[in-house]
């Protein structure tokens, strides 16, 4: 078959290579897509940098990197229904078994047998890619292709924001990387009435402001817990959305949470931390939620509607666009923190 | 004591009179307020017109009419705490006993022993009024006084909109009187992604559009159920907010609701109607909610925050302002339907 | 292929025939089962009697009747995974498309393209039957085969009881046919603290008592609304589970419901009825839920666990057992109302 | 006024004294009760032993100890309504201000200005005691007086068990002290289908079994996490109710929880512990809830109905009864762990 260019993790260790490989052939339940746009996730950076998590998690090498995309369907596997050649799609990256207790009870996103593109199997940093038909999300024509590429991480933000009450709430978002800033925009859209952000990076603090934050704080410059208590009549915020994975931010979040509040965690600390459960959770009557993935597919419907209705504008959040062969620039930028979402275009003339 | 002007229902029958009566004296748990603004509710119009409902419901005559207000606290009853002279307040109009099963389980707004201002006891269409301290809502200084006067009906809208999921939902609002149009604005604020309104009156259809509706339909001019099904890929809307009390609109709402949808009713039909429960509710797996009052006081906190944050603008909804002595003009206007909220000012120079 | 005996609706009109037909061949996603036990549903009786609903609903004739079963898997279609020959199964009878908005958002039981065994396609009143593998429910070995046969209607009861809060609640169950009496047992198991039943048929009133009802009332002999108000300090019940489809019972249920209560309807009235929405729902702040089917598959997990744990005993509820060729006796018995669940055994020696 | 006997913390340090003090006089909103029965809580033991928590928390000395009681109303304060002399009461021990955000939004039990009997003000280990009328819970006559005395801690158990889904769930209860064993009984009553308990003390393991646990494990004798995974097909339990406050048990609870499960914590660890949030909560999509107090008064209604309906039997849980002057025996017994609830009778002949 014909060849295509792809960003491939060719060996265990830092880096990746842009190489020519065969265009894959879809299985009976898959579709083959032309990748119109793809975007870089923090997970991709971890795999690229080959950090400890990646060393333990990535089993298959060589492997095409990447999992966020917008693609055009070119070919259908033999058993595929409900998708047509020519459809423009995004994709859910958690592939669920469909048979386990979790799949059967509305939690397919944490399927006990789940696999992930670009982590457990070949990804989408390539000119063409395979997507299981069950995971292809056919797009409403009103949704822009660049926005479509970032619907997967946007879905993380939507999932976290909507994991409890948000309308009319005072919300603290700790950490304002790409998903953090999306969470700001979504929180605003959902009618939260005060949105506070803590973030160390100046570029990202500015993005947070543009995305709709009411108050953006630099934890290096002030005592953010005291400030948040002042801003909330001494009570604390109703909701914390943890997007940093940083132990300091997590502790500040707990300290700034009002009694009976919600603390939803999407950020992943890379090691254990000390927590005083009595003070932090029990006496505070707090609810702490671990979040990952996207509800399949409630979150996708909501995310799509936010975009197709024009209610949600990602323009301030997609900050950089490169050709696929410039992926190293994108990785460096992600590393620096001076960016929102970074897109890669495998077919730049498209 | 000194006298004041008040709009009083002096006898059983149509109409009301502006007369001079004694300024009331607060009981130990009451506050006396100077009424800065008051507004006309549909209920006031029913009492003014003396319709069948009013004839059965109103026991105390003579009675000062009205229940929506913004006032300044002039005097405190002996046992009042947590309120100060000079506070600017709005008021919850459902007075709860505090001791019954419903009060004890988070449903004080439907207290088994509940009473209502301007219905069961003297109201606020007057220069001064008595408010039980438990029902006074001290205002954030950022909230405009005219907006404060309509917080009670706005709370009805907020209560109805937030009685279930709304963000990312497609919503039909049947009937766009003052609370209907407030519901449009609140639904928009809460991130609903398609807001459809049906309304017979042209003035109100225009208001709905200004308040944020995506599509405003005239049931006299088109088959609204067919149109709504077209607009929703044949599925129907996720949520219906019934604000008309009209049997035709209610049936259209049921027909336009998707399977598994929410149907929240604030409008009150004045008589029984035929309903095919099997088709309308059971096979459709619909959830039908009766709504009245406001959650005491979750709804008030949310309503306040919508206003004090500047997220919610009632300017397009407050359409007319009169002096208290012009109350008959206000009543006529309400009757015509060519208005949003109508305010009355007892102290016009304030 | 070999022949089998089956109860077939051979023509539009009352009755059905036991005839010999070919044993069906499973498609790629189906399993072929030996029917160990099957049971008669009210729907089967409607089809047998050929009432107005059946005349409008049943399109395919001839058709094998029946949808409740316990079966042993004899043969697997080519694409079937997760099921083995020899497995003992029950079956979910709503066949969902898996692709529509409702399937995608946790409501597969009301799939827009849904089909039902024994209604839209051949059923299970036969020696052998086809079950789509997606709908086969492999049984825990601790579950008795007769109990397994009635898991589908039991799931209706479980779905209705658990559609809102039940533990520590006072519950009225209107109508005590087979699913009504199952609802009594499930309500008891879930920790409801007062269970009241209204039922006209004496046989069924006795069953209700055995299944765990605290108070069983005969609406012919006393004013049940007054009695229920007395039993609840004048407040009314927290929850009504409507299992009769009878307008009188439905109205009594609404009148006996406390303000803010839950009214869940599984019974299907065969025509429209007059409802005063204002009094019955709006002022009462009632929540009315239409229920049908079973959550796929949360309800099945719960139902299975109730049985496999031994917490739920259906012995008092399965009242009659016949050979398949005696199906007419079963139908007559169902018609009389003097029964709980009626089982049919196609292979009586098993 | 006349004197009474009371167990009083007379000085900062271990122990307490039974002394004669004046019978207190009720304020305008209080009632004076004759204490018919009172019971010892773990908190009382902490104060008695004068542990670090008590040293930091107890400000008022001398202070009458104790907070759980059943009493007969002898005298009403001037403003008390809704309670009568002769009523038999239990009492909610969290005294809420009624005015703060938390009181106003259904969370009075974590009132920002909250105070607690026997901790912040005089308690009930005495012949007579003062109870604020807002906190007196008038008992249904069917409830036994000894059961009434322990309704407050029973309410903790009910609150924890019902803080999420429980019916049809597999539940692990870590720690089986008095509230742990009550939780077993309540969990059983609510229809949980497998109840597993871990507990070090043999006496308490036997109690757990009697109260309805399906499986009782000794963490000293086996790897409880492995065992629980075996018992749940490798999935883990749906719900953990943490009742021990022991870091080892907490970690075992997290390890034994299934993905997407609920982890409700009532036990209070006396210091910080290391938690791997990523593994324990985020990837696991766990919900962790801090619980304290009782919902005012939903929990009380449910607790009352469990007892008055006879559905809940506390006989196996109330293991020891002493005269008030034997309080030191009770404290020693609590310290040993070889008991369930321990009751003290101030008027032993009653």
CA angle, B259 then B261 then B266, to 5°:
140
Active-site choice (B43, B93, B170, B198):
B43
Distance from CA of C315 to the nearest CA of A (A): 28
Q: Give backbone dihedrals phi and psi of B313, rounded to 5 degrees, phi first.
A: -110, 120
pLDDT at A196: 98
Cβ separation of C290 and B284 shorter than 8 Å?
yes
Name the one residue in this structure whose structure tokens are 């006891």: B121
Number of residues that make up chain C: 350
Tokens of C285: 């702040």
The pLDDT assigned to C349 comes to 72
pLDDT at B177 over 90: yes
Would you say A169 and B304 are in contact if contact means Cβ atoms under 8 Å apart? no
Q: How many CA atoms lie within 13 A of A133 on its CB side?
A: 21
- State the pairing for strand pair D237-242/D257-265: parallel
- Are the Cβ atoms of D106 and B106 closer than 8 angstroms? yes
Q: Which chains touch D (3 or more CB pairs under 8 A)?
A: A, B, C
Confidence of residue C1 (pLDDT cuts 50, 70, 90): low
Q: Which residues of D are catalytic?
A: 43, 46
Active-site annotation of C, residues:
43, 46
Question: Distance, in angstroms, between D98 CA and closest chain A CA?
Answer: 16
- List the single residue in B81, B101, B298 with the smallest CB-CB distance to D105: B298
Distance CA C77, CA A88 (A): 33
Strand B170-174 with B237-242, pairing:
parallel
Q: What's the CA angle centered on B268, arms B267 and B270, to 5 degrees?
A: 145
* Half-sphere exposure (Cβ direction) of C79: Cα atoms closer than 13 Å: 10
pLDDT at residue number A18: 98
Yes or no, beta carbons of C271 and B267 under 8 Å apart: no
Q: What local confidence, expressed as pLDDT, does residue B270 receive?
A: 86
The answer to whether residues A190 and B306 touch, using CB atoms and an 8 Å cutoff, is: no
Q: Is the pLDDT of residue C246 over 90?
A: yes
The answer to whether residue A201 scores a pLDDT higher than 90 is yes
Q: Distance (Å) from the C-alpha of residue B106 to the closest C-alpha of chain D?
A: 6
DSSP assigned state of D324: G
Strand A170-174 to A237-242 pairing: parallel
- Please check the confidence at residue A1 and state whether its pLDDT lies above 70: no
Q: What is the pLDDT of residues A287-313, one digit of tens each?
A: 999 999 999 999 999 999 999 999 999
For the whole prediction, is pTM greater than 0.95? yes
pLDDT at C174 over 70: yes
What is the mean pLDDT of the segment spanning A309-332?
97
For C167, which residue in chain D has the nearest alpha carbon?
D190
Q: Nearest by CB to C104, from A101, A105, A297: name it.
A: A297
Whole-angstrom distance, CA of residue A267 vs CA of residue A292: 9
pLDDT level of residue D348 (50, 70, 90 thresholds) = confident
Chains that touch A (3 or more CB pairs under 8 A): B, C, D
Q: Please tell me the predicted confidence (pLDDT) of residue B350.
A: 52
Residue D350 has pLDDT above 60, yes or no: no
Are B168 and A308 in contact (CB < 8 Å)? no
Output the CA torsion sign for B317, B320, B323, B325. negative
> CA nearest D242 in A: which residue?
A282
Contact B272 C268 (CB under 8 A): no
Instruction: Find chain C residues with C-beta within 8 A of D166's C-beta.
Output: 167
Contact list, C267 vs chain B (CB under 8 Å):
282
Does the beta-carbon distance from B112 to C276 stay under 8 Å? no
The complex's ipTM works out to 0.97
pLDDT, mean of residues D310-328: 97
Gyration radius from chain D CA atoms: 20
Across A258-262, average pLDDT: 98
Task: Give dist(CA D270, CA D246) in Å, integer.
Answer: 8
A350 has a pLDDT exceeding 60: no
- The predicted pLDDT at position C346 comes to 98
Q: Which residues of B touch A308 (CB under 8 A)?
A: 193
* CB–CB contact A106 C101 (8 Å): no
Looking at residue A349, what is its pLDDT? 72
CA distance B189 to chain A (A): 5
Query: Quick check: A273 and D269 CB within 8 A?
Result: no
What pLDDT score was predicted for residue D349? 72
Contact D101 B296 (CB under 8 A): no
C227 vs C237: CA distance, rounded Å: 11
Q: Are C212 and C247 in contact (CB under 8 A)?
A: no
Q: Kindly tell me if the per-residue pLDDT of D270 is higher than 90.
A: no
* Active-site choice (A10, A38, A46, A159): A46
Q: What is the mean pLDDT of residues D210-232?
A: 98
Collapsing DSSP states into helix, strand and coil, what is residue A111? coil
Would you give the end-to-end CA distance of chain B in angstroms?
22
- State the average pLDDT for chain B: 97
| Inter-chain touch A290–D290, beta carbons under 8 Å | no
Q: What is the mean pLDDT of chain A?
A: 97
**Which chains would you list as touching C if contact means 3+ CB atom pairs under 8 Å?**
A, B, D
Average of per-residue pLDDT across A326-348: 97
Q: What's the pLDDT tens digit per position in D138-189? A: 999 999 999 999 999 999 999 999 999 999 999 999 999 999 999 999 999 9
Alpha-carbon distance B315 to B341, whole Å? 10
Q: Choose the mutation target among C87, C106, C133, C300 for the interface with A, i.e. most A CBs under 10 Å.
A: C106
Considering only CB atoms, D105 lies closest to which of B104, B105, B297, namely B297
Distance from C-alpha of A215 to C-alpha of A217, rounded to nearest angstrom: 7
Query: Could you give the C-alpha distances from C143 to B41, C40, C149, C231, in angstroms and in order?
Result: 60, 19, 10, 37
Contact B216, B209 (CB under 8 A): yes
Tally A–D CB contacts below 8 A: 126
Of A38, A43, A280, A299, the catalytic one is A43
Mean pLDDT of D184-213: 98
Please determine, for residue B1, whether its predicted confidence score (pLDDT) is greater than 70: no
Residue in B46, B67, B94, B320 annotated catalytic: B46
CA B202 to chain centre: 21
Q: What is the mean pLDDT of residues B148-162?
A: 98
Looking at residues C95-121, what average pLDDT do you find?
A: 96
The predicted structure's pLDDT at residue D1: 62
d(CA D22, nearest CA chain A) in Å: 34
The string of pLDDT tens digits covering residues B193-244 is 999 999 999 999 999 999 999 999 999 999 999 999 999 999 999 999 999 9
D contacts of A276 (beta carbons < 8 Å):
269, 271-272
Distances (CA, A) of C151 to C70, C138, C306: 9, 12, 11
What's the gap in Å between the CA of C161 and the closest CA on chain D? 11
Cα distance between residue B259 and residue B238, in whole Å: 8
pLDDT digits (tens, 9 = 90+) for C191-221: 999 999 999 999 999 999 999 999 999 999 9
Confirm if C345 and C321 have CB atoms less than 8 A apart: yes
Residue A42: Cβ within 10 Å count: 15
- Sheet containing B63-64, strands listed edge to edge, beginning at the edge strand earlier in sequence: B17-22, B3-9, B63-64
Structure tokens at B113: 């022993």
> Cβ of D275 and A276 within 8 Å?
no
Query: Taking a C-beta distance cutoff of 8 angstroms, is the pair D263, D173 a contact?
Result: no
Q: Nearest-CA residue of chain D relative to B98?
A: D134
Across the interface, which of D82, D104, D297 has its CB nearest the CB of B105?
D297
Chain A residues within 8 Å of chain D (Cβ atoms): 101-102, 107, 109-110, 112, 235, 245, 250, 258-260, 265-278, 280-293
Beta-sheet strands, E only, within chain A: 3-9, 17-22, 30-39, 63-64, 68-76, 88-91, 94-95, 115-116, 128-132, 136-138, 170-174, 194-198, 215-217, 237-242, 257-265, 273-275, 287-290, 318-323, 341-345
Residue with tokens 């007054």: C226
Give the pLDDT of residue B283.
Answer: 96
Candidates A82, A101, A106; nearest CB to C106: A106
When pLDDT is averaged across residues A69-96 and rounded to a whole number, the result is: 97
CA distances from residue B116 to B92, B93, B109, B324, C128 in whole angstroms, order as listed:
9, 5, 10, 21, 66
Q: Which residues pair with D110 in a beta bridge?
A: none
CA contacts within 13 A on the Cβ side of A61: 18
Nearest to D275 among A235, A260, A275 (CB): A275
Closest residue to D191, CB basis, from C193, C301, C311: C311
């Amino acid at each position: 078959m014909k060849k295509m260019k792809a960003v491939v993790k060719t060996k265990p260790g830092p880096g990746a290579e842009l190489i020519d490989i065969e265009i894959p052939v879809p299985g009976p339940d898959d579709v083959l897509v032309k990748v119109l746009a793809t975007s870089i996730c923090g997970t991709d950076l971890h795999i690229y940098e080959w950090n400890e998590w990646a060393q333990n998690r990535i089993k298959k090498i060589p492997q095409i990197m990447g999992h966020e995309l917008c693609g055009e369907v070119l070919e259908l596997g033999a058993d595929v229904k409900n998708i047509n050649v020519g459809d423009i799609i995004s994709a859910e990256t958690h592939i669920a078994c469909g048979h386990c207790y979790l799949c059967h009870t509305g939690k397919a996103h944490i399927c006990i047998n789940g696999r992930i593109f670009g982590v457990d199997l070949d990804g989408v940093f390539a000119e063409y890619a395979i997507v299981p038909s069950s995971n292809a999300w056919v797009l409403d024509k009103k949704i822009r292709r660049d926005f479509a590429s970032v619907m997967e991480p946007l879905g993380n933000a939507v999932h976290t924001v909507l994991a409890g009450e948000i309308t009319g709430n005072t919300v603290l978002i700790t950490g304002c990387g790409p998903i953090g800033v999306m969470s700001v925009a979504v929180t605003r859209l959902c009618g939260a009435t005060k949105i506070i952000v803590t973030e160390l990076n100046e570029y990202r603090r500015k993005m947070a402001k543009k995305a709709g934050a009411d108050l953006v704080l630099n934890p290096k410059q002030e005592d953010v817990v005291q400030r948040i208590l002042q801003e909330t009549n001494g009570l604390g915020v109703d909701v914390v959305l943890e997007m940093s994975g940083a132990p300091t931010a997590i502790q500040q979040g707990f300290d700034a949470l009002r009694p009976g509040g919600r603390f939803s965690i999407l950020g992943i600390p890379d090691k254990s931390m000390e927590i005083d459960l009595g003070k932090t959770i029990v006496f505070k009557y707090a609810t702490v939620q671990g979040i990952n993935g996207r509800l399949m597919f409630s979150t996708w419907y909501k995310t799509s509607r936010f975009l197709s209705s024009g209610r949600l504008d990602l323009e301030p959040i997609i900050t950089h666009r490169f050709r696929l062969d410039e992926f190293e620039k994108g990785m460096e930028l992600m590393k620096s923190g001076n960016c929102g979402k970074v897109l890669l275009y495998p077919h730049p003339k498209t």
